[in-house]
Amino acid sequence: MNLLKIALPKGSLLDATLELFKQAGYEIKASDRSYRPWINDAEISLKLLRPQEIPRLVEQGIYDLGISGLDWINETMSNVVNIANLEYGLVRIILAIPAQWSEINSLSDLIEYCYKVNKPLRISTEYINSAKKYLMQNQLYKKFYGESEPEVITPWYKFGNNTNVKIMLSFGATEAKPPDEAEAIIDNTETGTTIQNNNLKIIETLSTSSALLVASETAMKDSWKKEKIMDVAMLLKSVVNARGKIHIFVNVQEKNLSKLMENLPALKKPTISKLAGTEDWYSLNTIIPKEYFISIVPLLRKYAQGLVVHEPRQVLPLEGFNE
């Protein structure tokens, strides 16, 4: 039997991932110690893995499909096929330093300060490759150190020839490292609260990240797997689409129909049908972005009656998944 192997992320992304699958119609069961959840689709096999591992394992074809953050896809420089942005796990990758360093407010300031006082700049991070690229793109780094690479330090090896700037691999609690073990950190944050609670301040944002559904190139060349991937992607993306929409039903007189339609921000053209037993009344239903609802309430109150509002569970963009 054909089988699609999917890697799901452990840790902070897991609850949101399981909820997404549930809303898409999948049922997943797992014990607390199980890394192989059961799913109500005999053609799918699931495995729970650290999001840091998933991009490489998908790239290698060990898993056909996976969910990981864009930050880890970039960090591991994995060659995977981006299927869909799932729009959760939203974080920023930031550079932070001790809050009391009021005179330092950018990476350039930090590089210049350490250079002038002849002190190594130590950055603690899990994002080694991203940090290295970010540093070497800085104009002041180039001025002081040219094309020399920062020294990268892990428990197993060191590489890089610029000992004045050190990138040190962190195994967690990164925000606790400054000022003793490091002058700065590069870490992810959702709200910045943990950063502030550890007496740090954010001085730059490297990038933003969210959860992505990615596939292996090998799987996308397999006709059965590609079709199965598109089925899974369609169901998951339909939940993402629905989260920003509402479905409204209203009754409207014929004389007001054109006035209402001119100002109604519909996802597609609204469905309009004549109400049975009436001369000039119609029923209108459509899907609109949530953000517009408050602003059109005066319009609905003026021209329509019998408003009913639903939050759709799924909005399926079928035309986008037929390739």
Tell me the per-residue pLDDT of 94-110, one tens digit each, with 9 for 90 and over: 999 999 999 999 999 99
What pLDDT sits at residue 268?
64
Structure tokens at 75: 């960090």
Q: Tell the burial category of 58 from Cβ atoms under 10 Å away from its Cβ (0-12, 13-18, 19+).
A: buried
Residues 106, 177 within the same domain: yes
Integer Cα distance of 113 and 100 in angstroms = 14
Domain tally for the chain? 3
What pLDDT sits at residue 320?
52
Residues 204, 215 within the same domain: no
What is the pLDDT confidence band of residue 52, given thresholds at 50, 70 and 90? Answer: very high
Q: Is the pLDDT of residue 301 over 90?
A: no
Question: What does DSSP say about strands 162-169 and 121-125: parallel, antiparallel, or unpaired?
Answer: parallel
Range from 3-12, 36-45, 161-170, 308-317 carrying the lowest mean pLDDT: 308-317
DSSP 267-286: SSPPEEEEPTT-SSEEEEEE
What pLDDT sits at residue 275?
87
Q: What is the mean pLDDT of residues 297-304?
A: 86
Instruction: Give pTM, 2 decimals.
Output: 0.85
Residues 23, 36 within the same domain: yes
What pLDDT sits at residue 295?
85
Q: Is the pLDDT of residue 11 over 70?
A: yes
CATH code of the domain in which 132 resides: 3.40.190.10
Residues 270, 189 within the same domain: no
Residues 10, 47 within the same domain: yes
Structure tokens at 225: 């797997």
Q: Is the pLDDT of residue 84 over 70?
A: yes
Integer Cα distance of 284 and 307 in angstroms = 10
Residues 195, 270 within the same domain: no
Residues 42, 118 within the same domain: no
Residues 113, 188 within the same domain: yes
Residues 104, 193 within the same domain: yes
What is the domain extent for residue 59? Answer: 4-89+210-242
Residues 101, 203 within the same domain: yes
Mean pLDDT in the chain? 91
Residues 10, 65 within the same domain: yes
Q: Is the pLDDT of residue 119 over 60?
A: yes
What pLDDT sits at residue 319?
56
Q: Is residue 127 a contact partner of residue 186, using CB atoms and an 8 Å limit?
A: yes
CATH code of the domain in which 275 resides: 3.30.70.120
